[in-house]
Amino acid sequence: MKRNRLLFVGLIVFVAFIGLSGCAKREIKNVNSQGKNIICLGDSITFGYGADPGEDYPTALGKMVNLPVINAGIDGDTTVEALQRLEADVLAKEPFLVIVELSGNDFIKKFPKKQTIDNLKEIIQRIQAKGAMVALVDISAGMFLSEYRKLLSKVAREEGAMFIPSILGGIITNPSMKSDFLHPNAVGYKLVAQRIYQAIKPYLKQ
């Protein structure tokens, strides 16, 4: 009886290990991307609002990776506007990986959540069709935009994109790291870049 119990426990541990191994690095589409650039597509958080030129997170990220990093962030951008400029600002620039940080302005402008999610899916799918990987960034912090965190996580999982949660966590509650109620300052953007780097590091070319 004891031997059977040990075998059963051993089987449970083995199955759990296999399950965790499979979750450790989810299957991401286009891991063999042949693109040449990391492109940061987003709104004011990507643009670097609240910091001086060159203190934005894409610039900081560019110092951590061995690929060129292009800042394609526009202050105030929504998912609708990002879709309109996707070809010129992203797809035409040989993307290896596109870091998508959008939805905050959709929330502010009270876009229907379904519209935001549908737009994000189209953005991701068009990027992936170009052969590039996608990392979907979430700017929620605590209860702030927590519903979007869940929606974005689901989109990333369904579309085979990386998901980088809560990049502003601990920043928008720390006056020394932000320039206003929402936007980081130079110190905050460096931390954002470090968090994004840690998430994308396993997928970068060595």
CATH number of 26-203: 3.40.50.1110
Higher pLDDT, 67 or 24: 67
Burial group, residue 8, by CB count within 10 angstroms (0-12, 13-18, 19+): exposed
Instruction: Fill in the amino acid letter for 31.
Output: V
Please identify which residue in the block is written with the tokens 């399950």.
Answer: 19
14 pLDDT exceeds 90?
no
pLDDT tens digits, 99-118: 999 999 999 999 999 999 99
Joined together, the tokens standing for residue 132 give 């590039």
**Token pair for residue 170?**
């601990």
**Whether 13 contacts 185, CB under 8 Å:** no
Tens digit of pLDDT for each residue in 34-66?
A: 999 999 999 999 999 999 999 999 999 999 999
Report the alpha-carbon distance of residue 83 to residue 72 in Å, rounded: 12
Mean pLDDT score, 191-205: 96
Containing 187, the helix (H) or strand (E) segment is: helix 186-200
Q: What is the pLDDT of residues 122-181, one digit of tens each?
A: 999 999 999 999 999 999 988 778 889 999 999 999 999 999 999 999 999 999 999 998
- Name the pairing type of β-strands 133-137 and 69-73: unpaired
